[in-house]
Every structure is written in C-alpha cells, then in structure tokens.
Structure 1
C-alpha cells in the first residue's frame, strides 16, 4: 500500500513511464489536497514514495498522460473541477515536470472528464473535455508550437450535465468522433466529426431513468464496428449500444449488476476466449460485477453457495494469481467460506474454514508481511477473533484465536502504531468497550488492550480526525445513543474516549469530509429516531453538536459518497423497517438536503 497523504481523496489514477527508465510509474489525481502524486516504479512491483506536483486550488478530478510536444517524454493533463480549467504538466524526463500551463474551460463549467485525440487530422494532439456545469463538450485544438487554442464548445443539451467522454471512429470516415455520458438527461450523446474542426449536432440514445456515469467504446461483437458501454447510477444495470458502423447505434441493451451505483468500467478478455468482457465497479455494494461476453450478449449473474446465515463478505486476491477471490462470514455454521476466482468470471466451490462461535464480521489484510492476504473474523458468541493466515495457493491455516471483549460484533484493520504492521480494532457490544490488538508482523497479535466506549458499541470506523497522521477510532454506541472518539497516540495506545450525543440507538457510523475543510466529520444512522446525525469535525479531534436529518424507518446502515457528481459527499441510508433507502445530497458546507 502506498499512501497518497491524509485527506488526499485520490480521484483517478493512470500509469506511464515518466522518467524513461522503461519501468511503469503511477500518477494520481489527489482531489482533496490539490496535487498530482507521482510514484516512480522500481520495475519489481514496488514504488518510490510519492512526489507531489501542486495544482494550486484546482481540485483535479481526471488525469491522463500523453506526449503533447512530441519529445518522447510523457506529459500529464488534468481536468480541474475547482478552477474550471485544464492543466498541462510537461515532462522533462528526469522525474521533473513543468509548472502547470492552464486553459480555461469556462465559468462554472466544472470539467469532469478528459480525453486526447487528433480531431482535425493536423497531426497535433487535441483535447476534449466534458463540462458538467455548462452542459457542453469543449475542444482545445493543439497548435504547431504544442500549445492549445482557446476552447470551442459544442452543446450537449439543457440540463444534460455531461460526466464522461470517450472517443473513436464511429462511421469509418477517418475522423475521430465523441461519445458522451449525459448524466442529467439520462442519455448517451454522440457527436460525429465533420473533419473541419466542427461536429454534427448531437444524436442521443435514452438509457431510461439512470444517471450514466462512466463510458467506454470497444468492438464487443467482432464486426469491426465500435460499440458503446456505459455504467448507470440509479438503476441496477449497465447499457451496451452496438454500433452499425455508420455513426448510429442500436438502442441500449441493459445487463443487471445488482448495484445502484456502478461507477467505473473496464474492458478485457477475462476468460481468454478472444471476446471482450466487462468488469463493473459497484460503489454501493463494495463489489465488482463480471459480465462474460458471448456473441448474442452478456451472460446472466452467477450464484455460489456459502455457509449457513452468511453475515459479511470481503474480497481480495488470496492466491496471488491476480484474480479476485471472496471470503464470507457464516454466522450459524461457525465458519468462513473462501471462493477462489478462476479468472474466467467463475469461482471455485467454497472451501470452508472453522471460525469461532457465530462469526459476524470479516476483514482481510496481510498480517505477517508475506504478501499473502490473511483473514480476521470476529466471533460474537465466543468473545474472540479468529485469524487465518493465508498460504500461497489460496488455502488458509487453521485459525488462531485471540480474546476480545464480550460479544464482539465488528472488526476493522489499520496501522495504529505506525510500524507498517496491520493491527485490528473490535467493537465489543456487551462489555461496552473496544479491543485493540497490535500486530507483530508475523501473523500473531499482542493480547488485547481494551478502551472504554459507550453502552453497547455496535460499529467502529478508523480515521485521522485530528490531522496528526495517527489513526483514531470512532465508535457508535447503541444503548447510550452517542459516539465515542478515541484519539490515537501513534504508539498503538489511545486517549480516553470523548463522547458526543447522537440520536437514539445509533447502529452504523462512517466518517468523511462533508464541508470540504480537510477535517473528517461523522455521520451516524440513528435506528430508533428514524434519522441520521451529522457531527462536523473541528480538525483537533473534537466535534460540533449533532445536526439531525430525517430518513426512513429504522435506519440501519449508512455509507457516504458523491452520488450526484458534484464532488460533494452525500449520504445513503438503508432503512430496515420501511424497506427503502434514503439519499441526502450534500451542499458542501456540512449541511444536507432533505431526503430523496
């Protein structure tokens, strides 16, 4: 793991050889800290510490790498959401870059996506940018001196809010065309290139009542005609539009993802059948969907057996074959199920490993620094945690168990003493405390140290709430209707709790920066009060009094993310008794709109 810095909020990553040493490097757009992070590769899978390139106050949201000035050295371009601009960093080839050269994309344009291509066939690289705020696509034509013309815009329609773009030859006329995900009007737009620096009026294709998010173009059905794939926020599907080769496309075919927030898509031949498959990242479910290609369409979802009463799931590559695997905590069968991925979109039948009594929460991490993922499970009825060390082949050693408090219900991992060894923290519901187990780096853990929390802690999260580069702990206490904040000392110990009132019976807690002040805030789902509590952080480990927002009946679980693509954190709550979810859109100042 390579840190991008506290509150960096890395938004997008790309790779390239920036210093011409024939080793791939990494570039990250750090939205929260207004910089680009460069990690130079050693060529063996490891990387140097981050080098930062300041982007001012730009809030970079998209990053691409291109050789703009034809000097055989890669340059970097960013779409700057905060300053409504595009920035170019010219590479010098010796781990150095020029200061940014910035081009305006227009007042309130909020550029959200960026792509490079030669749109007028003059052999100079041009840029296309999706201007979310001004409902248009901007083209910056490259000049002979390797600078760019002032942006020319092409409308995508009133309220269209284009979020992402992709380019390709849609009608075989030799000119690059543009496909657009118009999130505001629930449609895909296509701009056909006339070849003279202008584009035909947009042709649109409806994708029902979803927000198109990420878009890509590729030939799925091997007819030498480009097709379009788009992820949809708001509906549990993605859309595929097959191209006719004349600039027009079939109506979209929808494929289920079982996620309302599919935010990213990648294309590749996963099962080595010479046909392209789709991988979709689901923000709300913490999962990926794999759609394997056959010539008539994509296959339906596949189901796999687990143990009895599966309670929690985590994913990771357990056998280091670059294929994701699955682990599930099975409460009533007192074990965990491991399903190894085959790399063709399918999984092996489960292998089950004994845990303690009534496992309820599972997490993964490399606890013995052997580059193999291990498993930690909390066992509610046996008052302990099970650690299963991973072997090279994806199997696991028998559990080693460590005492926790009374009726532990939740586990997370983090490095609490800054020794690069993963530790664990457990919420103990009946003993009203949390257990911290420091890792020794060899897969074993020290005996627990317990710290008082409130009454009946049920959820825990970690984060640096006082900006001292040390992880702190936040606990939701169900019976005392408050949260406990335990500040970390950096040596694995924690200060006594400070408690802050919430609504009645909080059931879930997460942290995030809701007012863009680089200080972590807290949101809690209040199960009995049918609301959520937001506590804004002061940056010194203390918090303001709660502000409560109504949601559905018995809010049970809460997550945060940017669900309307305005770069401001929003809240989604799962409501247990009303069988629905509530969405509270953030205003960026720490307040939220009424629920949707």
Structure 2
C-alpha cells in the first residue's frame, strides 16, 4: 500500500536553480568567504526564540572536573503523537553541587600546586559505587526548586513547540546522555530509550500522549556510563533489538587531577598548577563492554552481548550506527571509540558478530593511528551504491571519511578536502544530509571542545567553536560552505548532540543542537527546498514496523541514490526516520525500490516529487 502526502512546491522558476548553481560555482572558484550570494544560497537560521524551545543543558560543573561534565547530551526528532510532524526531545544532565571526593592520584596540595602520583602509581578505586548512586546523592540546592529533567516538546504545526511538562511522563531526572527512538513493540507508536550516567530508561508510548517507564519489566536498565544507542533487527525476526555503547569505568570516587604539570620531584610526583587543571583524558580510565539487547517479543529483552561476541572491554564507545555495509541483507554495527580502535561488527547471520574493523580498514585512520571517535554517520556520498562512513574526532586529529571500496574501506579524508578544515576543531554531532536538495550528500559537523583550558595546550584551538557545513562537489570531494550559509555559522558554541530532520515539513533538512552547559538550538534550513525532493517512509508488516534496516533506492532521470532506515546516529541523538532525497531540478522519479529486512523487494514507478511517500510492506512482492 502506498500513500502520498502532498508537500510544498519549489518557490522559484525553473531557471533559478540553474542560475543558483552557476553563481555558487563562481563563488567556489573565487573564494567562498569573499562571495555573498544572499538569498541565492541556502541559509541556516537560528529560530530557537520564536519556536518556543527554551532549554538549557545542565552539565553540573562545580569545580571538581568530573569527566562526566564533558560529554554533554543529545536529543531527538520524532513524531510521538502520530500527527505527521516531528516533535522534539532534549536530554538534560544533573547538578553536581555538593558532590566531592579526594582525587585518587592526589598526594597533597601545596598552595596552587597539586602534587599527584604518576599514572602507574595510582592507588586505584577505594570505593567503586555505581555511577547513579553518586549522582542520586547530589543535594539539590533548594528543595522548592525543580531539578533538571529531560523535556518533550510537541510540534504545534506552525513552527512553534509546546513543552509537554510532566504530562508526557518522559521527564527523567538522571544524569542524561543520549536517546534513540523506535517502535520496539510494533504497535504503531514510537517508543523512547534514554541513556544515562547511571540506570538507563525505556519509555513505552501509550498512544495517548503519555509514556510508561517499563525499564524494570523490560530488563534494560543497565547502570554503566552509557552513551549512544542504535535500534536494529539483527536477526531479522521482525522484532527490534538494540545496541548500547558504554564509555569508561568512571565514578566520582575514581576522579583524578589532570592538567599541565611543571615539575617532578624525587618521589616521581608531578606538580600540576591549579590554573592549568582541566578534565582528564579517557585514557586515564578503563573501557566498559557495550551491550546488545535481544527483543524477546513479549515486552522483555535479553542481554546477549557475550553470546553475540560484542563484549569487548577495550572499547570506549561514544557513537554507534547500524548499517548493512557489506550489502548482504543483515545489519552490521559500527562503533566510534574514544582513543581506542573503532569496532566494525560484521553480522555473521547466526546471532553472532565478528569484529572486522582492522581487516576492513576502519579501526584506525589511514596512517595507522587510533583516533578519538565521537560522532558517526553513514551514507553513499559518492553515489556508487554502497555506504561510506564518517567519524568526528579530536582537535589536532582530523575527522575521518572512510570510502567503501567493496572489499574494504579507504581513508579518503585528505583527498575529499575534509582534513585541513577539521584539524583545529573537535567534532561531535554529524550527518550526511543533502541540505541543498541537489542530489548528493553533504556533511554537517557540530563542534565544541571538551577542555575549558584547551587554549593553554593547543595553539589556535578554542573551547567554544563554530559549526561546519561541507558541500558535496558531485561525489568526489567537499568544499566548506559555512561562510556563505548564514550567520548561524559565526556563532561559537560547546556543541554535542545534533539531530537532523524536516520539522517544518517544507522539504529540506533542519537541525536540532544540544549544547553542553548551554542553550539548545533549533536551526531552520531556508532555501533548500528551492530544488525538488522526495521523502520516503517505509512501514513494515512482515519486517519490523519502522522498517529499520530497509534499503531504499531512488532513480530519477539518470540520478541513482540509496538510503537505509536507521534509528540512532550522529552523537547521542535520533534523527528524522524518514529518508530524504534531493532531486535537484528533476520533476519526477522513475523508480523507488525498497529492499525490506524480510527479504521482500517492492518497486514503485512514476512517483511525483515534493511528496512524503509512505510505503507499506506488501507481502508477496518479488
């Protein structure tokens, strides 16, 4: 069954897209920064104030330099009330005022000098309480105040949003990290999983605007330091499973003093000057195995991590995506690890996974080094029919673009023009998106450093940083377009999670950003819909209802594009589950092909552009 939902038509005449491209090409040739195309180029506008979104993230910083203060939080675009437009969920942290502990590497403090043991002299943890106990003990300053909570905003359909308050019952007050969205029980309503520094939470959508906390009965409330989540049907049984990345083995009881040191004494103790004290690197702490939950089909899940072969304790996972990188019909997993080799878990088809990252060329960068992986996304940026990978990394590294060569991946960051522009930035949220609807995938990166005093240690690097937008130059390379794409890109922020979706239903991709310790931002794409577009939303019947894992191929007047339905990507976030295709000046789609997780293949011909196409899985398709 197929449904067409009428979209908005392009506002320009047929000649204007061509003139826009000519002008943009001229601008690229003569320097982007010197060229002002005004309304002829796509502009991104901060519309937070007029949207009704009023959310400030709490990182809880209180001068103790707890590592959890650095990671920030994410959010989601999703349609929780099934009214056809995207609502917003934002994850908050917790106030850490009052939590104190003596750093385990501290010998003594002398004036403004901290004398600390060398790393191999650490005494180790004295009392490793579960992370959530430390957070739960934090005294809220005034009992009459309302503690920070996660917030669900309902889309009013007119560009504004309303805080649902406590009515939706999704206002978790833990130290929040990320979230993912999926209809895990196949009842037609989107459910929500929230990761925390401490117990995670599963909210089941009741279908009446409220959610129920079913964490305990579903057996999914692990209390590690969890970060990103990806829903997937790894065994293709029609029930959605999910993968949770865990970061490092840290509690306030194992906090350390880190920073620039000025000298070492005869006992091997280092002196760290208070003015240079900052957050420790993750290498100071051990990794924690990730978790794979199998859906039992009765509202409960089983932790199958060990049996599935994904319980590697060396990982320090921050980002995860589920994708079929080898085009064999089942879902694989890529995990971006912070400072340790990335994981690429190849689905072996028997309930088990094998880590193929090193063999496939994505464990390290092109010169054989581990990087500090943060956010991750996949897409077919070169339109060659397979999925490539993009990972955001630390400053003085580069973000990394891995091109899928069929048998293995190749680091093509430099040749694609993405190395030098990312060198001084620390990237988190990211997305392959066609922001200008021209038919190829561009790149967006939300930046912001983790070290408040980074300027003391790395020349030219700042704590607050601009975001970056890279325009795809027809499949082979990228050119940074930030400077011509609106004042939004002039603002320096400490950004973390970034979600992407068409919240105003006008045919182009907008952005939601959660800033660490700062205001969340809603950013509207103005002008992307001057070119034509198509959005596809598969609805499974034999496959999982969300169609997660379905691969969609769209052919239009010689242009062929592929996408895959996913839940969970970027960094700590969930984006619009509908698949967005830019069509350029093409006025019709020759073919839409859906390869469902069930193995069914469905084809539609002669599809109009500028529509949201809902395709229901038809049993009996070839």
Q: By the TM > 0.5 criterion, same fold?
A: no
Greater RCO, 1 or 2 (C-alpha within 8 Å, sep 6+):
2
Scaled by the length of structure 2, the TM-score of the pair is 0.42
Higher helix share: 2
TM-score normalised to structure 1 length:
0.44
Q: Which has the larger radius of gyration?
A: 1
